[in-house]
Amino acid sequence: MRVSRLMLVTLRDDPAEAEIPSHKLLLRAGYIRRLAPGIFAYMPLMWRVLRKVSRVVREEMDAAGALETLLPQLQPAELWRRSGRWAGYTAGEGIMFHLEDRQQRELGLGPTHEEVVTALAADLLRSYRQLPVNLYQIQTKFRDEIRPRFGLMRGREFIMKDAYSFHADEASLAETYGAMDLAYRRIFDRCGLRTVAVEADSGAIGGSASQEFMVTADAGEDLILASADGRYAANQERAQSLAAEAIPLAGGVLAGGAGQPLATPAQATIDDLCAGHGLEPSQVVKVLLLLARLEDGSDQPLLVALRGDQQLNEVKLANAVTTRLGASHGALLELTPLTPTLLERQGLAPLPFGFLGPQLGDGLLAGSGSWAPCFLRLVDHTAAELESFVCGANQPDLHLLGASWAGLGLSVEGLDLRSAQPGDRCCHDPLQRLEASRGIEVGHIFQLGRKYSSAMEACFTSEAGTSEPFWMGCYGIGVSRLAQAAVEQHHDANGICWPLAIAPFEVLLVPANAADPVQAALAQRLYGELQQAGVEVLLDDRAERAGVKFKDGDLLGIPWRVVVGRGAGDGRIELVERSPAHSQELPADGLLALLLPRIEQQRWGLLEA
C-alpha cells in the first residue's frame, strides 16, 4: 500500500473536540472522522486495525469452541417486551434507538442481543444433548448514549464482539465462563494491552459472577479499587470494603433514644454541624431523598440513610430498589434527587433540607399528585450499626443528639449502599487497603443465570425429562473501544505507538527523497522483498520533504520504519523502531534477517509466540 493512495490528511494541532490523548491522536493521524456526536467513519488505516483486533478475537473465540454467527440489528419490540426490557431501554434514560416501520410495528436497533439469541435458542435447542452452545458475532451496535464522548471510547455506533452461551446446568455455565475468562486474557495480551480483571456489578440479579477487563489508563471512565496483594480488584460500582470504625458518640443514647434537641442554626451541612459542635461525621446519620421512576409509571420516593462520612453508591442503590420493586412495578427507569421544585410541583409542603432525619414521616407525602404515599426506606449498614447518633430533627435549625434507631421507633435492616473509597480496609484482609486507579472497560463476562430464559420461557428438556430454562452467560468485547484504548496505553509526545499485532502496517518504508532515482529504486526493491516475506509494508511515496514524512510516520505509529536516504548509493539504510525509540544503520541486504524475527515475535503481543 502506498501513502499517496490513502486519502491521508494529518493535522498538526489538536482538534478542539478531543479531550483525551487517544482521541486527539486518532483524529490528528487521520484514522477516524466524526460525522455526528458518537458517530465516526473508520478510515482505511483504522479499518485495518479493527480487522486485526477482530481477527485476534475470532481466533481465540474459535479456539475456545464458540461459533461465529451474525444476528439481526433490527429487533422487534415484541421480543424486548417478553424479556421485560423494552421500557427500560426506550423510556427515561434508555439507550436503545427505536423506530416504527411502515406498518407501525415497533423496532429497536440492537444495543445488545440477549433477546434475539434467547429466542433462537428457545426455537432450536430442545434437549440437554445439544448443550452447551456458545454463539458469538462481531457487529456494529447502536446505543443512544447520554454522553457520547472520547471518540470511539463511547460511541453511539460502535463495534462489539458479543457472545452468548447456553447450558443445561450451572456447572457447565461456570466452565464456559472460565474458558471465556482465559480467552479474554489471551486476546488482550495478544493485542498488546495491559489489562486487569475486576469484579463488576451484575445488576439487580446479584449473586451471579461478572467480571470486567480494564485497560489501565488515566483517562479511563471507571474507577478501579484494588488491594496491593493482588487478591481483590473491583469496579467502584461494585466494590466492597470495611468502612472506618465509627467514633462513639460521647454521652451515648439520650432521652431513651428519641434524642435531645440540639440547636444547629444554619448548620445544614455535615461539615458545619460537626465544626459547630465538636462532632465527627461518623457520628451523624444523614438522609438523602430521591425519586425512583418505574416502568409502570409509578414514582416512588426514597429515603436513604447513610453514616455522615459515607458516600452513596448509586449503582448499589438502583439494585436495591429493583430488588424491592422490580417484580411489582417493572424496571427502574430513573433515579433523581428529590428537590424543592419537585415537591412544589406535587403540591407538597417544603422540607427542611439539611435538617432531615430518618424518622421523617410518610404523612408529608399525603396529598401528593402522583407519587406513592410512603417512602421506601433504605439504610446503609454503617448507619444501621450506630448505637447512638446525631440526625436531623426534621425542623429547620434543629438536630437530635443521642438518637437511636429503636428510640426513633424505626426497625432497620442494613444494606450495602455505600461507595467503597480508596484507603478503605479490605474485606478479605483488614491489613490491606484499597488503592485507586482508572480503567477503560474493554470487556465484560457475565453469568446471566436464568434471568432471560425464564422471562422468555426459553426451555430445554433435561436429562431427567423435565422442561427447564437454560442457564446463560454473555461475554462482550468493545472492539472499537479496545483499538482506541490501545492508543491510550501506547503513545508518546510524537504520536501513536501501535502494538505491532494490531498496527495497520508493520513497516513504514520511507525514501527520504522520492525524486532521487537511487533512493526510489532501493525503496522499490525493499518494498517488494518485504511483501514477499509476508510483512505488511506501507510505502511513503509522497513527494514531501523527509521531515514531513518522518513526523507523519511518528504520528501514525507504525512500529518499524525503514528509511532509504543518502546512504542508498552504498546500499545502506536506517531502521527505526517507534517504541522504545531506537535507530540503527545497516546494509539493505541485512534488513530481512534482522527484522523478520523481531516482527514474528511481536505479532504475538505480550504472549510468548
- Contact status: 184 vs ligand ATP (CB under 6 A): no
Q: Which stretch binds ligand ATP (CB under 6 A): 115-123, 155-163, 357-365, 418-426?
A: 155-163
d(CA 472, CA 490): 36
Which 3 state secondary structure label does DSSP give 303? Answer: strand
Looking at 61-69, 394-402, 460-468, 477-485, which segment touches ligand ATP (CB under 6 A)?
A: 477-485
Task: Go through 347-386 and write b for each residue having 16 or more CB atoms within 10 A of its CB, e for each that does not.
Answer: ebeebbebbbbbbbeeebbeebeebbeebbbbbbbbbbeb
Give me the least distance between CB of 187 and ligand ATP, in Å please. Answer: 12
DSSP secondary structure letters along 56-106: HHHHHHHHTT-EE----SEEEHHHHHHHT-HHHHHSTT----EEE-TT--E
Looking at the Cβ atoms of 331 and 522, the one nearer to ligand ATP is 331
Contact partner, 499, from ligand ATP, Mg ion, none, Cβ < 5-8 Å per class: none
Minimum distance from CB of 282 to ligand ATP (Å)? 32
Q: In DSSP terms, which residues pair with 414 in a beta bridge?
A: 379
Q: Tell me how far, at minimum, the Cβ of 110 lies from Mg ion, in Å.
A: 16
Nearer Cβ to ligand ATP (359/480): 480
Exposure class string for 20-37: b at 16+ Cβ within 10 A, else e: bbbbbbbbbbbbbebeee
Q: How far apart are CA 149 and CA 39, in angstroms?
A: 10
Q: How far is CA 14 from the centre of its chain?
A: 26
Residue nearer to ligand ATP on the CB measure, 441 or 506: 441
Q: Examine residue 444 and tell whether it contacts ligand ATP (CB under 6 A).
A: yes
Whole-angstrom distance, CA of residue 75 vs CA of residue 357: 47
Quote the least distance from Cβ 237 to ligand ATP, whole Å: 9
Among 295, 299, 380, 441, binds ligand ATP (CB under 6 A): 441
Bridge-based pairing of strands 195-199 and 157-167 is unpaired
443 contact, one of Mg ion, ligand ATP, none, CB 5-8 Å limit per kind:
ligand ATP
Helix, strand or coil, per DSSP, at residue 372: coil
How many CB atoms are closer than 10 A to CB 129? 10
Residue 437 exposed, middle or buried by CB count within 10 Å (0-12, 13-18, 19+): middle
> Residue 576 — φ and ψ, nearest 5°?
-120, 125
Cell of 107: 423496532
**Contacting range for ligand ATP; rule: CB under 6 A; set: 170-178, 322-330, 420-428, 440-448:** 440-448
The span from the CA of 586 to the CA of 576, in Å, is 11
Binding of ligand ATP at residue 145 (CB under 6 A)?
yes
Which letter, b or e, does each residue of 508-525 get, where b requires 16 or more Cβ atoms within 10 Å of its Cβ?
Answer: bbbbbbbebebbbebbee
Strands 32-36 and 39-42: antiparallel
400 membership: H or E segment, kind and range: strand 398-403
Min dist. Cβ of residue 446 to Mg ion (A): 8
Cα separation, 191 vs 214, in Å, equals 14
Closest distance between Mg ion and the C-beta of residue 212, in Å? 6
Which residue sits closest to ligand ATP, CB atoms considered? 478
Min. distance of Cβ 438 from ligand ATP in angstroms?
Answer: 13
N- to C-terminal Cα separation, the chain: 27
Q: Of Mg ion, ligand ATP, none, which one sits near residue 143, judging by CB under 5 to 8 A according to partner kind?
A: ligand ATP
Letter for the amino acid at 306? L
Q: Which of 22, 75, 112, 310 binds ligand ATP (CB under 6 A)?
A: 112
Site string for ligand ATP, 341-370 (x = CB under 6 A): ------------------------------
With CB under 6 A, what is the number of residues at the site for ligand ATP? 15
151 near ligand ATP (CB under 6 A): no
Contact 361, 301 (CB under 8 A): no
Of 259, 354, 358, 443, the one binding ligand ATP (CB under 6 A) is: 443
**Residues 443-482: x/- map of binding to Mg ion (CB under 5 A)?**
-x--------------------------------------
In DSSP notation, 334-350 reads EEEE--HHHHHHTTPPP
Shortest separation between residue 315's beta carbon and Mg ion, angstroms: 12
**Binds 481: which of Mg ion, ligand ATP, none (CB < 5-8 Å by kind):** ligand ATP
Which of ligand ATP, Mg ion, none does residue 158 bind (CB under 5 to 8 Å by kind)?
ligand ATP
Q: Is the CB of 190 or the CB of 444 nearer to ligand ATP?
A: 444
Q: DSSP assignment of 171-211, as one string?
A: HHHHHHHHHHHHHHHHHHHHTT--EEEEE---GGG-SS-EE
**Between residues 307 and 444, which has the closer beta carbon with respect to Mg ion?**
444
Does 108 bind ligand ATP (CB under 6 A)? Our answer is no
- 567: its cell numbers: 546512504
* Residue 306 C-beta: closest distance to ligand ATP, Å: 24
Nearer to ligand ATP, 11 or 47 (CB): 47
- The residue among 157 and 554 lying less far from ligand ATP, judged by its C-beta, is 157
Out of 107, 198, 442, 556, point to the residue binding ligand ATP (CB under 6 A). 442
Crossing angle of helices 170-190/44-63, nearest 10°?
140
CA–CA separation, 203 and 322 (whole Å): 9
- Reference 440, options 401, 400, 484, 501; nearest CA is 484
To ligand ATP, the closest distance from the beta carbon of 164 in angstroms equals 12
For residues 416-445, which are near Mg ion according to CB under 5 A?
Answer: 444
CA–CA separation, 377 vs 379, rounded Å?
Answer: 7
Q: Does the footprint of ligand ATP cover residue 439 (CB under 6 A)?
A: no
Interface with ligand ATP (CB under 6 A), residue from 88, 357, 478, 511: 478
Answer for which of 42, 158, 355, 550 binds ligand ATP (CB under 6 A) is 158
**Site residues (vs ligand ATP, CB under 6 A):** 112, 143, 145, 154-155, 158, 160, 441-444, 476, 478, 480-481
**Site residues (vs Mg ion, CB under 5 A):** 444
